[in-house]
Each structure stands twice: as C-alpha cells, then as structure tokens.
Amino acid sequence: MSDNKQATAADRKLISLEQDYEVRDWCKSLDCTEEQLRAAVKAVGNSAEAVRQHLSKR
C-alpha cells in the first residue's frame, strides 16, 4: 500500500498530458486553459511547481 501512496504523491508533482482526465484536472487545479497548460509544460517541463510558477507570471 505504501507503494501506491508514493506513486500518488509523485503524480501530484508531475503533470502528464497523456490522459484527457489529467489535463482536465490540472487545468482546473491551475485555473488555466488546456492551451496554456500545454505551453507551460513545453516551456518549463512537467514539474507541477514549475508550471504553477510559470502560469502565475501571466
């Protein structure tokens, strides 16, 4: 069970653009559009913190 918790924690730190539901959830969490999310990930990588900081500059 601890392996699952570790995977979940890691999932919250990295943004995946592979699944529609993940894109939707990240957009809602970060209050951005899909286009803004994809551009931010392209610019700074898939770290949720880096993307959050990048989007805060808009």
Task: Give CA–CA dist 48/58, Å, rounded.
Answer: 16
1-26 pLDDT, tens per residue?
455 555 566 678 999 999 999 999 99
Domain count for the chain, please give it. 1
What mean pLDDT is predicted for residues 37-48?
98
pTM summary value: 0.81
pLDDT at 28 over 60: yes
Task: Give CA–CA dist 30/37, Å, rounded.
Answer: 8
